[in-house]
Amino acid sequence: MKILYIVLCCLAAITQLTAQATTNVPLNDRNHHIQTRLEIKSGDFGGIHTTTQPIGRKSIRTYIDTIIDSSYWQQTSQRQAQYQYLINDNNDEDASLVSKQPFLKLLYPNKEKSFLGHFYRSPAHLLELRKPNFYVNINPILHFKAAYESHNGTTGLVFLNRRGAVIRGNIAERVYFHTDIIESQASFPTYVQQIIARDNAVPGAGYFKEYNSSFRPDSTDGVDYLLATGYIGFELLKNHIGVQLGHGQNFIGDGHRSLFLSDYSPNYFYIKLNTKVWRLQYQNIFAQLTQNYTTRQRAFDLAFGRKYLAAHHLSINILDNLNIGLFEGVIFSRGGQFDLQYLNPLIFYRAVEQAAGSPDNVMVGLNWKWNFLGHFSFYGQAVLDELAIGSLAQNGAGWWGNKFAFQAGLKYIDAFGVDQLDIQGEVNLARPFTYTFRDSTANWTHYNQPLAHPLGANFYELIGIVNYQPLPNLYLRAQLNYAVYGQDEPNTNWGGNVHKPYTTRQLENGNAIGQGVTTQLLLLQFLATYQLRHNLFADLQLTYRRADANIDIYDSSTLLLGVGLRWNISEKMKDW
């Protein structure tokens, strides 16, 4: 990876950077939901490829200024609030706000509304500086949440306490940067604690330390962990080729889930190339991942094993409202070294794999999105890990090596003629042993967590989501997850745990989704959020989770009722 970094830096140094660059909207941010509504409503992608996320702030600002008719925003108070939110949140490159005042005289048109003369010159940013060739803003991150838990008849309190800061900006609108750090302490619900104990990692965070809190002095189940995201980016060819070097997450797909690459696992180091020509966008991701481990050793006591991801995705806007995408990805390890053959941005990885002696794990996939009638979006993904046509014809789909996954979903915005009422339905499934490999050097995981679906494999799942904005600053969300999946008893492998090598499988043929300890999971969630001021939210959350298995010891029932306050951070409801 050092060689790749040096090559890209040298290329950047000798290339004339004439394009305007942009920072990204964080995954799960409210901006994404509004942008999805707008592209369905207008029936026009506007040249944006939202299948590959996160998307750029400048793309959103350009979209609302050029694609969406200004009269749309004036029709209801909710739409007016949405427009103001997008403008305030994505004003980094608004040239009309550039100031020629001294350093501490931070500019915004509503100067008289600023706090103590220097804070909140802009509604979205605690501090910001605008100069003709430089822009930066600084914001705090806070999230406090407490909940009452009832689990299998026992009760108690759980909590989440996160604090941090975020800085983002650009230099001459050619080089852009973002960095944030979040310190977290938490006592999670019992079923999350069980996942942490199983995986030796906090979901989405990875490494952690045990933590005893004064909030729950009799508890020893607290965890303390640190999250950091950062990247720097620039464009090599104006409006066509861009590169980003960072530590974070990526998401490929249009659904609630992604069967290619999701945001469930922790941050990782990556280099990303984006190429846009005509109706095409071609994205390359090269990433360094962590192999599986069995004990939580401190990083300075034991360096975790490394593996690497090389992936590319071709997105084609066939029509203004029809998108097709092709995906190919490979995970590999060469004794902790990157295989330079995979740096070729255009080659088929399967050919490289075969040329190298076929030691790696290559997956291919197809995705689609069709927005129609100004209200609907039909989307989906198909993933092929391995498939033997001969075995399929002879033995049916039950051969263990027939490994594939599938997604289909439908979004319905302004449902039944009700403005801001959005409904989404989605189905996901993955055959047993999909994403697995003979060892952890090439399975589809990072830091003991799946890179795609949280359930791993050997499941099918139904998801229903309702979003409603009845008032300009009030947001309601209800979500239902129902899944059937197969768990493992001790010393067995039925293909659901993607960390286990497929060489330890129980059956050669006759494998079916849900095999093993068949478990039914029902998850009901409700979230009410009120925006007190820009990106300052008060939350009320209710969660009911029930797991019923064909072996009683795997059964569980959890009820959570919680309240929270968060500032400059999104609320991602746990749905596993």
H helices of 450-525, where? none
Between 432 and 341, the more confident residue is 432
Give the Cα-Cα-Cα angle 546, 261, 451 (nearest 5 degrees): 60
Phi, psi for 332 (deg, rounded to 5): -155, 170
Alpha carbon distance 75, 17 (integer Å): 41
- Global pTM value: 0.90
Query: 429: closest CA among 368, 366, 513?
Result: 513
> What band does 109 get if pLDDT is binned at 50, 70 and 90?
very low
Q: Is the pLDDT of residue 111 over 60?
A: no
Q: Are 292 and 436 in contact (CB under 8 A)?
A: no
Average pLDDT, the chain: 86
pLDDT in tens, 355-376: 555 566 789 999 999 999 999 9
What mean pLDDT is predicted for residues 294-320? 80
Strands in 373-444 per DSSP E: 376-386, 403-412, 421-430
Task: Considering only CA atoms, give the Rg of the chain.
Answer: 24
Predicted confidence at residue 518, as pLDDT, reads 96
Residue partners of 482: CB distance under 8 A and separation at least 6: 461, 462, 463, 520, 521, 522, 523
Reduced to 3 states (helix: H, G, I; strand: E, B; else coil), residue 400 is coil
Q: What is the CATH number of domain 2-567?
A: 2.40.160.130
Predicted confidence at residue 12, as pLDDT, reads 39
What mean pLDDT is predicted for residues 456-473? 97
Residue with tokens 């590169």: 243
Predicted confidence at residue 296, as pLDDT, reads 59
> What band does 100 get if pLDDT is binned at 50, 70 and 90?
very low
Phi-psi sector, 349: left (phi>0), alpha (psi -120 to 50), beta: alpha
Q: Is the pLDDT of residue 392 over 70?
A: no
User: Domain map of the chain by residue range?
Assistant: 2-567
pLDDT in tens, 213-233: 666 655 667 899 999 999 999
Alpha carbon distance 410, 464 (integer Å): 10
* CA-to-CA dists, residue 473 to 33, 77, 197, 423, 476, angstroms: 15, 10, 39, 19, 10
Query: 109: closest CA among 138, 85, 130, 90?
Result: 130
Q: Are 108 and 134 in contact (CB under 8 A)?
A: no
Alpha carbon distance 123, 136 (integer Å): 15
pLDDT in tens, 9-61: 444 333 333 334 589 999 989 999 999 999 999 999 998 999 999 999 989 99
